[in-house]
Structure 1
């Protein structure tokens, strides 16, 4: 797999709600107590304003625009910000099972949205790379994203047999496509592994590490994949990703180790060599440095998390 697919697979994004929303006239809705995860939305027709707590600028969303809200902060959607907001639960209480919610007669504005929960232990790997609002404006290159939106709108309207499963897959497609567009648009402004994927040379080195994390990688070998000199590659990688290539490799190995510890029951004696460590002590030292606790304590912490809290 490629690095973005690797990370999303590790985070196990779970779509737990998809719904449509149509509104008419003047309206304003406040969304409080957001769970940690990602909310995605796409405007099918009309336009609205989006305000997120702690963000100064209000974003105008027009037909064809999409957005991601990865911060979990309270936010507000409105036709205008002068209208007194109502609490979201009073409007969306019927949306738990999907379908389309109509407010004030509907017709002037229509959007679809989904919510994703992420694996608790690693959510910062992705969320820390994203701003509080990811605004993706309508563009010709977003044909695949528009197709997903149109198909989701149809499924929400018809509510046919098997619709829940189709909505799940469509929501995941929207999430990946939106992240692709965001990194393509924003890699010149951002720093971190996500934006580095838009650079062909950095992406080649990262793909190599993700493709074979157990290999005893050297700076020279990675520079060869990037088709750069050793010194130039090291400097550029740190500038774009924020850490050195070897630090990035170690962090990725430890995230994989954490996933194995939490979900497979494999022992350290099995995990360590599978990630390129010849001794259990060297692996444990690296794990504690990156993850902040020993492998044993990490497993205990994962076991103490109840299923409902995930």
Structure 2
């Protein structure tokens, strides 16, 4: 530890939220290029992944998971981070048909095209949408997903998030230009836009979210949370956590519980089991490897802890898809 008299200026500690967001990644599950003629209604089922939509031409209405009707038009992007069931419709009162019921034509691996057009209609009136289902790989930032609103909208007319506009303009060009390789470029652009939307929401204070985010932004308490999320497999004790915060055990425990609604040790246990469930189901890792990653001395000890927190044995989670 350098002291002030050393003459060497220490780099400031990174903001805990920024530090954790550095590990944020998205993995595209599937992508679709949609072209529809009015009237239409496309229903998107609830998914474990996030839904992302970008309107490249025309205008439509987003029916949110809670039933709110939100107009969207050319240049708008929408992210539904928790994958709630929703629909995109041409207007009120139209029949909604499940997205999966449309015939999809493969364009390249992982990307398809869906057309539902009226032959007599002028093509300039079509609605063109790029849709993606994405896995939000926030890993230990799971609480952040739960705090997000059901949808995040970047609207072209309002000039929101100017740093995202060039990306959306590039998506529009790729969608309407129909050039070679455009599908793959669109997929990559969609991932960057989605991450940027989340980052902007965090930088703007996370909306009305409190509790966990407020704790993370607390200079001393946030230092502890960042350390826990950075190294969940460490054998954390109350003494270790209090020392990281620079306070007594009693003061630390009281402030931690007041901010997060749980005790420090329960928080660590829950964090570990969220990661364990993710590694078992998504990454298909063996139970013994997950136990080792999380610092358990034996597979049996990990299995007991997992069942105590989750309610089912880890082997069952690994079989689930």
Given the two structures, how large is their TM-score scaled by the length of structure 1? 0.69
Larger mean CA deviation between 233-242 and 69-78 belongs to 233-242
Residues 1:29 and 2:41 aligned together: yes
| 1:1-310 equivalence runs, <5 A | 2-4=19-21, 6=23, 13-19=27-33, 21=35, 27-31=39-43, 33-43=45-55, 47-53=59-65, 55-61=66-72, 65-69=76-80, 70-78=82-90, 80-81=91-92, 84-85=94-95, 87=97, 93=103, 97=107, 98=112, 104-105=121-122, 107=124, 112-118=129-135, 125=142, 128-137=146-155, 142-185=161-204, 187-191=206-210, 195=213, 199=217, 201=219, 203-219=222-238, 221-222=240-241, 234=253, 237-238=256-257, 241-261=260-280, 263=283, 265-266=285-286, 268=288, 271-299=290-318, 301-302=319-320, 305=321
Do the aligned partners of 2:63 and 2:87 also contact (CA within 8 Å) in 1? Answer: yes
Residues 232 and 19 of structure 1: CA distance in aligned 2, closer, same or farther (over 3 Å): farther
Residues 95 and 74 of structure 1: CA distance in aligned 2, closer, same or farther (over 3 Å): farther
In 1, the alpha carbon distance for the partners of 2:73 and 2:168 equals 14
- 1:235, CA displacement in angstroms? 5.1
Do the aligned partners of 2:27 and 2:135 also contact (CA within 8 Å) in 1? Answer: yes
In 2, the alpha carbon distance for the partners of 1:224 and 1:159 equals 58
- 1:16, CA displacement in angstroms? 0.8
- 1:31, CA displacement in angstroms? 1.6
Which runs of 5 or more structure 2 residues have no equivalent in the other structure?
Answer: 1-17
Rg comparison, structure with higher value: 2
Do the aligned partners of 1:39 and 1:113 also contact (CA within 8 Å) in 2? Answer: no
Give the ranges of 4+ consecutive aligned residues of structure 1 lying more than 6 Å apart after TM superposition. Answer: none
Q: Secondary structure at the match of 1:13?
A: strand
Residue number in structure 1 paired with 2:8 = none
Q: Secondary structure at the match of 1:276?
A: coil
* Aligned Cα root-mean-square deviation (Å): 4.3
Q: Secondary structure at the match of 1:143?
A: coil
Deviations 1:119-143 (A, max 9, x none): 9xx9x94764444333345566723
In 1, the alpha carbon distance for the partners of 2:115 and 2:169 equals 17
Aligned residues: 289
Larger mean CA deviation between 273-282 and 146-155 belongs to 273-282
Given the two structures, how large is their TM-score scaled by the length of structure 2? 0.67
In 2, the alpha carbon distance for the partners of 1:273 and 1:33 equals 36
Residues 229 and 176 of structure 1: CA distance in aligned 2, closer, same or farther (over 3 Å): farther
- 1:189, CA displacement in angstroms? 1.5
Which runs of 5 or more structure 1 residues have no equivalent in the other structure?
Answer: 306-310
Residue number in structure 2 paired with 1:308 = none
